[in-house]
Amino acid sequence: MTLDTPADFLMAKEVLLSRSNAKWRQYEADVIPAFVADMDFAVAPAIRAAIRRSVDLDDYGYPMRDGQKADVAVAEAFARRMKRLYGWEAAAAQTLVLADLVQATFAAIMAFSEPGDGVIVQVPNYPPFRAAITETGRRLLPLPMRDEGDRYGFDLEALEAAMTPDVRIFLLCNPQNPTGRAFSEAELRAVLAFAEAHDLIVISDEIHSDLVHAPARHIPFASLGPAAAARTLTFNSATKSFNIPGLRTAVMHFGTPELKERFHHRFPARVMGSVNALGIDATVAAWDEGDAWLAAALSHLGAMRDHLAARLSAEMPAIRFHKPEATYLAWLDCSALGIEGSAFDFFHDRARLGFSPGENFEPGALSFVRLNFATSQEILDEILDRMLGALRGNIR
């Protein structure tokens, strides 16, 4: 397989339907899914080859790589990648390899705060963030992502007014899901100054860091310098950008050995479990050998984003939308459409489309939906045609 054109990794609808992942299974067969963060793409050849090696050898024993516990290979690949892409020294020894970043969010909140303490989170946000705060008995302090006309931004002065001494954590999503913002150095430095002023731990979820569209660029929060690193936990994985979420492998990097010690004081490494061998090999292959595939995928995603923006503004201008700087997710504000009830239900019932409901990301955001455009132009056009049809009153 070459990787020169999207046709090389875009999967036909029949193939997508024959697989068993949630994206194409959750809804009824006539619904086009555009919700969960999975891409309709074949994986990078290096990932397929890495998995094939294990399959061909029936190599499913307790894994070792290069004479060490296999997890170390992921931590080292992460360190190599951060150094290569951002010049950031993300020490492998300060990296915990685990299966699941939602688990990491719950655990980090429980390790660095007490019940009743405050946790800042951008709103709208990835739904499990809200759960990780409220289900552990912490208090959610919202930092609204405000529509600033041409993009979403946040206002730390307004947040300042809401601060109390029991706020311990700033849960930052960079790039942000669902608004697709890739924060600038100035914005991140403002967050750092705020975190220093209030002595906060920063949990920086950077799972979408590979999916930033030029000219925007990703800046790892901990790479801002030693003062940032000293209070930062960085979460990342190859699962979003290389389309392998089912392989359940991720990293939690601690900016200093002390932060890691504090974490393990609450959660010994054994409690966090270990990861599977296929996920380890796939992640290392993605991070070390996946750049060509990623560049081709990003180029296709950028084209789909622009196509979506062009069609929305020409054909459905009442839907407000800022082109995401990162991710393959579009946060669509449908409030001017005058839909009664939720926009999700409207498009589900009338257009047979499976978006993510806005209210999952922000209570009450019924007039928003999140659209996943990581698909072929053919499927994206069918999604847009169906939206248009529903808005014109053609009930499918």
Ligand X SMILES: Cc1ncc(COP(=O)(O)O)c(C=O)c1O
Closest CB 218 distance from ligand X, rounded Å: 13
The answer for residues whose C-beta is within 8 angstroms of residue 292's C-beta and 6 or more apart is 3, 44
- Answer for the pair 359, 349: CB distance below 8 angstroms, yes or no: no
Nearer to ligand X, 144 or 389 (CB): 144
245 binds ligand X (CB under 6 A): yes
Q: Kindly report whether the peptide bond that precedes residue 245 is cis, defined as omega within 30 degrees of 0.
A: no
Of 170, 189, 159, give the one whose Cα is nearest residue 233.
Answer: 170
117 binds ligand X (CB under 6 A): no
Between CA 149 and CA 264 the distance in angstroms is 44
Q: Which of 177, 232, 283, 356 binds ligand X (CB under 6 A)?
A: 177
What is the size of the binding site for ligand X (CB under 6 A)?
Answer: 13
Nearer to ligand X, 45 or 245 (CB): 245
Nearer to ligand X, 235 or 344 (CB): 235
Site residues for ligand X, 19-58, by CB under 6 A, read 37
Closest CB 300 distance from ligand X, rounded Å: 19
Nearer to ligand X, 207 or 390 (CB): 207
Closest CB 97 distance from ligand X, rounded Å: 12
239 binds ligand X (CB under 6 A): yes
* 327 conformational bin, left if phi > 0, alpha if psi -120 to 50, beta if neither: left
Nearest residue to ligand X by CB is 101
The three-point CA angle 193-199-204 to 5° equals 70
CA 265 to chain centre: 28
Nearer to ligand X, 245 or 255 (CB): 245
Nearer to ligand X, 105 or 391 (CB): 105
Closest CB 237 distance from ligand X, rounded Å: 5
Closest CB 207 distance from ligand X, rounded Å: 4
207 binds ligand X (CB under 6 A): yes
- Answer for the pair 23, 17: CB distance below 8 angstroms, yes or no: no
In DSSP notation, 320-340 reads B----SBSSEEEEE-GGG--S
Q: Phi then psi for 3, rounded to 5 degrees?
A: -130, 30
Question: What binding mask, one character per residue, do residues 76-115 give for ligand X by CB under 6 A, x or -?
Answer: ------------------------xxx-------------
Number of H helices, E strands in the chain: 14, 16
Residues that bind ligand X (CB under 6 A): 37, 100-102, 126, 173, 177, 205, 207, 237, 239, 245, 250
